[in-house]
Amino acid sequence: MKLFKVIIGLFVALFYFLPKAIYLNLLIAYYTFFNYKENLTADPNVHLKRAKKLLKNARNHLLLYAALEIRFALERIVHNELIFSEKASNHALDMYDPSKKRKIMSTIDDNVNYPHEIYFVDKKTNERIYWGMYKPLPQEKVNNIKGRLGDLLHAREGIKLGISNDNWYIQTRKFLYDSLETLTSHLKSNEKYFKYAELNHFEMEKLPYYNSN
């Protein structure tokens, strides 16, 4: 009887528990190597979430890593809008500078500087259905954020490195939080201008200019 129980135990271990253990280990390995949140991403929302997490940490040396995530988010936001324009050259799309890309957007179509309500239009009935809102990210805002971030991502002189409440740290944290809020707010419920501007079944109604500063 004991021998029979041992054989049954070995059978269960080999054909039930062992495969489950192998499967779980494979899942863990897959998660470790392919979980997108831990790897590079093309989604500006992910960069902004990482920046927010870093800014919540009180350790001042993490400010530079938050600045880097915000810079990536800014580049992605501008690039992801320009890429929908058929008039954008490969040279323009290959640029890294978000300020230059934003200026190219205005050159292609000045209407990118204005907010628009977007409507889907049924060509048979002429019915207009509200689709969403395009809210521009102003050129001056892109320039300001890009310039300040570039300044941060260089070695600094004159900072009281051993004093955690030095004014530089306070001002830098505030700037990063403000930039984070600006870009996060821009992404919420915001459609891309060039994605709809040249489509026959969509109409874009320009709204009065506004300045988000």
Q: How far apart are the first and last CA of the chain?
A: 83
Blockwise average pLDDT, block size 10, the chain, 213 residues: 50 52 57 57 90 92 94 95 92 93 95 95 91 94 95 74 78 96 94 90 84 47
In the chain, where the domains are located: 1-34, 35-206
How far, in Å, CA of 58 to CA of 22, rounded?
40
- The three-state DSSP-derived secondary structure of 127-186 is CEEEEEEECCCCHHHHHHHHHHHHHHCCCCCCCCCCCCCCHHHHHHHHHHHHHHHHHHHH
* Residue located via tokens 């890309």: 101
- The DSSP code for 114 is S
pLDDT given at position 63: 93
Give the predicted TM-score (pTM) of the model.
0.76
